[in-house]
């Protein structure tokens, strides 16, 4: 079967039919195909996965809702692998999707941009990107990420990278956005990771110009357990931070234009 657009795999908790209606309404309006991934609730987190929350050897503090979120994204990755498609769009159910999303969903998009992971959202915070831009349709462009970015509510991941992530035990040892796009995560240092400009997605809670909406109330709350981290955990975190810093320095030295420019927010396409 030939797909004109990559399908979306959106993550939704069973007790949030309001968010299900919200995200499906947007995807229907854009004429996109999609599959619902039932999110893992905190009550369904296996004890073996929950144990990391109180493990003193874990470098990155993590709480039970965050583990549930990571497990939910793993379900989306599994669905992408099983689909037989080259890649898939992963969405959380509280994102606003701009019409420009369609310009990023060609089945060969990741091959076109030369990256197995494409971040599609913005938090409005200042980020550092490579100076080179790859133009897609209209005003849509992508740039390689240099520095860490928070948020994993909208991204395209290749089936190959999804398969590799599923076999990686670290995928549930930290926040999923750290794992995919951040300091301490694996992929920002190991593979090209790209950012859409302007971003076609923003979470309701990060929409600076919108009135607060009950739909945007986070289901990932609570404090991480206050455990005394072991010397091994502190050492692992320090090594990860050092590797990240060396990565950023190397990327900037290889890209003088990015080195000389200031970090800037990625705009949301829906505000244009």
pLDDT tens-digit readout, 104-124: 999 999 999 999 999 999 998
**43 lies in some domain:** yes
**217 lies in some domain:** no
| Kind plus residue range of the DSSP H or E element containing 162 | helix 159-166
**16 lies in some domain:** yes
Segment 42-71, tens digit of pLDDT: 999 999 988 898 899 889 888 999 999 999
**246 lies in some domain:** yes
Pairing of strands 126-127, 193-197: unpaired
Question: Which CATH number goes with the domain that contains 153?
Answer: 3.90.550
d(CA 124, CA 133): 19
Q: Provide the residue range defining the domain that includes 31.
A: 8-208+227-271
Q: How confident is the model at residue 272 (pLDDT cuts 50, 70, 90)?
A: low
Q: Is the pLDDT of residue 34 over 80?
A: yes
Q: How confident is the model at residue 138 (pLDDT cuts 50, 70, 90)?
A: confident
Q: Is the pLDDT of residue 1 over 90?
A: no
**215 lies in some domain:** no
**218 lies in some domain:** no
**214 lies in some domain:** no
Q: Is the pLDDT of residue 166 over 70?
A: yes
Structural domain tally of the chain? 1
User: Residue 258 in contact with residue 252, Cβ under 8 Å?
Assistant: yes
d(CA 201, CA 106): 17
pTM: 0.92
Buried b (16+ CB within 10 A) or exposed e, 108-134: ebbeebebbbbbbbbbeeebbbbeeeb
| Cα distances (angstroms) measured from residue 142 to each of 2, 61, 105, 188, 193 | 25, 32, 13, 15, 10
What local confidence, expressed as pLDDT, does residue 227 receive?
77
**232 lies in some domain:** yes
């Amino acid at each position: 079967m030939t797909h004109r657009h990559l399908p979306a795999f959106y993550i939704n908790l069973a007790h949030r039919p309001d968010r299900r209606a919200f995200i499906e309404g947007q995807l229907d309006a854009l004429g996109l195909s999609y599959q619902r991934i039932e999110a893992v609730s905190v009550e369904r987190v296996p004890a073996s996965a929950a144990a990391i929350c109180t493990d003193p050897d874990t470098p990155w503090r993590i709480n039970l809702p965050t583990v549930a979120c990571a497990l939910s994204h793993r379900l989306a990755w599994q669905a992408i692998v099983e689909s037989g498609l080259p890649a898939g769009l992963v969405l959380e159910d509280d994102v606003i999707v701009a019409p420009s999303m369609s310009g990023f969903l060609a089945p060969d998009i990741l091959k076109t941009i030369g990256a197995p992971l494409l971040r599609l959202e913005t938090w409005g915070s200042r980020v550092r990107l490579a100076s080179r831009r790859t133009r897609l349709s209209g005003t849509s462009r992508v740039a390689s990420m240099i520095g860490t970015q928070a948020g994993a509510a909208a991204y395209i991941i290749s089936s190959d990278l999804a398969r590799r992530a599923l076999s990686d035990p670290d995928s549930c040892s930290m926040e999923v956005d750290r794992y995919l796009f951040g300091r301490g995560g694996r992929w920002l240092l190991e593979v090209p990771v790209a950012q859409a400009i302007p971003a076609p997605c923003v979470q309701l809670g990060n929409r600076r110009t919108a009135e607060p909406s009950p739909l945007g109330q986070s289901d990932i709350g609570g404090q991480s357990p206050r455990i005394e981290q072991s010397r091994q955990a502190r050492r692992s975190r320090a090594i990860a931070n050092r590797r990240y810093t060396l990565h950023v320095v190397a990327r900037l030295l290889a890209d003088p234009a990015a080195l000389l420019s200031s970090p800037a927010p990625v705009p949301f396409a829906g505000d244009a």
